Amino acid sequence: MAEPKEKKYKWRREDYRENTKGLLMVNTGDGKGKTTAALGVLVRAAGRGLKCCLIQFMKSKSDRYGEHESLEKLGVEIHTMGDGFTWDTKDPAKDIETSETTWALCLEKMRSEEYDLLVFDEIVYVLDYKFLDVGKVLDEVRSIREKQPHLHLIMTGRNAPAELVEAADLVTEMKEIKHPFHAGIYAQQGIEF
């Protein structure tokens, strides 16, 4: 009996980069799931052999999260650069410096032309807090995407600025309907971190 012929899918093309339209995707809103959705795409892309990198702006560089354990097994490059979530910052100069350092790494990864998918987790918070200038960030993103039309970017965080929403190809707003925090159930390992 003849062996079944393997079905060829679009993503297995030899000319993947030449015939792929990279997307700028934004996950925003006040509901849970912005990072989780980005990680889902990251897992899918890594599973298809795309070269991926996750850069986290606010999660503390001294902590380990569940996504680190999983993504490292898939060969995904991870950079956690933050000082922790600083909702009521006491040192905005430090937060701006951390944001600029993290953005410099994002630029390095985008300009390298080595990646198919980059996830900039929590960058939208940084833009909303005005730790980075949204116009300058979008100018860099546009310039890089012109040179690398196959490059996919995902940005996450609450309160996406209108300019980012306008520039994006895909925007998903997570809306909170009900959250366990309001019932006194705090962040749990494997669910939130």
pLDDT tens digits along 60-87: 888 888 899 999 999 999 999 988 766 5
- Name the 3-class secondary structure at 33: coil
Query: Which superfamily is assigned to 16-174 in CATH?
Result: P-loop containing nucleotide triphosphate hydrolases (3.40.50.300)
Rounded to two decimals, the pTM is 0.87
Q: Strands of 88-150 (E only): list them.
A: 117-121
pLDDT of residue 29: 97
Half-sphere exposure of residue 100, counting CA atoms within 13 Å on the CB side? Answer: 8
CA dihedral 55, 59, 64, 70 (to 10 degrees): -50
Band (103; pLDDT cuts 50, 70, 90): very high
Contact 33, 175 (CB under 8 A): no
Band (186; pLDDT cuts 50, 70, 90): confident
Band (185; pLDDT cuts 50, 70, 90): confident
